[in-house]
Amino acid sequence: MPRKKDIEGHPYISYSKSSYASAEMIQRTKNYYNWMDERRTVREFSDKPIPKEVVDNIILTASSAPSGAHKQPWTFCAVSNPELKKKIRSAAEEEEKESYSNRMSDQWIEALKPLGTDWSKPFLEIAPYLIIVFKKAYDKEGDKKKNNYYVSESVGLASGFLLVAIHNAGLVALTHTPSPMNFLTKLLKRPENERPFLLIPIGYPIQETWVPDLKRKSLDEVAVYYD
């Protein structure tokens, strides 16, 4: 059992984590990078069912992310109901049509061409689960508002944890952001303190799946060291 103590009336437990020698640390981080580098966004989903316990564990992992003042300002809505998925697809495609026709700049459209995207989103019905991430602008205790802090940053971190957990399960995902996403609040009957942040279909890829041959930026392009 971890040892406990109080700091100004708040309970603390002792923290211990295994550490590694330099050589093992280098190998572990290299292996983890190589494994994560295999992750890809996928748009072609199988309708093969996913055990609910897997989705439970994925959401619990996402909810282990750090958050401002430990407020955990997120809700993860897991949708598998076919009729509700159909409504979500219809509403998302309506927004996407408008975006591709009138909202997006020519430069934006050009940037998306290598990814082969358009307004049609059949995966929103095919994927066995849609996980909709909501951010809580504030919490409520009765009629009283309780502030949350660094909400977008916290929910962004949790969404990153979510994607890694999905990859770890051997599943694939797509970070979908139809804009605006207010229709999700209405369809899922979420309270006024929640705002949709991401719409993420998850599932197995179809048997033969193709993804763009992406080239990620090199270390020199993304990191700056000050020795």
Domain ranges of the chain: 43-207
How much is the pLDDT for 142? Answer: 82
Task: For residues 24 and 20, give the distance between their C-alpha atoms in angstroms, rounded to a whole number.
Answer: 6
Q: Which CATH architecture has domain 43-207?
A: 3-Layer(aba) Sandwich (3.40)
Q: What is the pLDDT of residues 174-219, one digit of tens each?
A: 999 888 999 999 999 999 999 999 999 999 999 999 888 989 999 9
* Secondary structure of residue 149 in the 3-state scheme: strand
Instruction: Find out whether the peptide bond into 180 is cis, omega within 30 degrees of 0.
Output: yes
Q: What is the pLDDT of residues 204-213, one digit of tens each?
A: 999 999 888 9
* Secondary structure of residue 158 in the 3-state scheme: helix
How much is the pLDDT for 116? Answer: 79
Where residue 80 falls among pLDDT bands split at 50, 70, 90?
very high
Structure tokens at 20: 């590694």
How much is the pLDDT for 109? Answer: 85
Tell me the pTM.
0.92
Task: For residues 130 and 223, give the distance between their C-alpha atoms in angstroms, rounded to a whole number.
Answer: 34
Structure tokens at 139: 């919490």
Q: What is the pLDDT of residues 99-158, one digit of tens each?
A: 888 888 889 888 888 887 888 999 999 999 999 999 999 998 888 899 999 999 999 999
How much is the pLDDT for 78? Answer: 98
Task: For residues 38 and 123, give the distance between their C-alpha atoms in angstroms, rounded to a whole number.
Answer: 21
* Cβ atoms of residues 193 and 139 within 8 Å: yes
* Cβ atoms of residues 136 and 194 within 8 Å: yes
How much is the pLDDT for 106? Answer: 86
* Secondary structure of residue 69 in the 3-state scheme: coil
Q: What is the pLDDT of residues 32-48, one digit of tens each?
A: 999 999 999 999 999 99
Looking at every residue in the chain, the average pLDDT score rounds to 93
Q: What angle do CA 47, 87, 95 make, to 5 degrees?
A: 105
4 has a pLDDT exceeding 80: no
> Strands of 129-136's sheet, edge to edge?
74-79, 129-136, 194-203, 172-173
How much is the pLDDT for 2? Answer: 61
Where residue 17 falls among pLDDT bands split at 50, 70, 90?
confident
> Which residue has better confidence, 116 or 27?
27
1 has a pLDDT exceeding 70: no
Where residue 10 falls among pLDDT bands split at 50, 70, 90?
confident
Task: For residues 194 and 185, give the distance between their C-alpha atoms in angstroms, rounded to a whole number.
Answer: 8
In the beta sheet, which residues pair with residue 41? 173
How much is the pLDDT for 153? Answer: 98
> Which residue has better confidence, 10 or 168?
168
> For residue 9, which phi and psi values (nearest 5 degrees)?
85, 0
Helix (H) or strand (E) holding 10: strand 10-13
Name residues whose C-beta falls within 8 Å of residue 125's C-beta, 6 or more positions apart in sequence.
82, 85, 86, 89
Alpha helix (H) residue ranges in 10-68: 22-36, 52-62
Structure tokens at 191: 């309270």
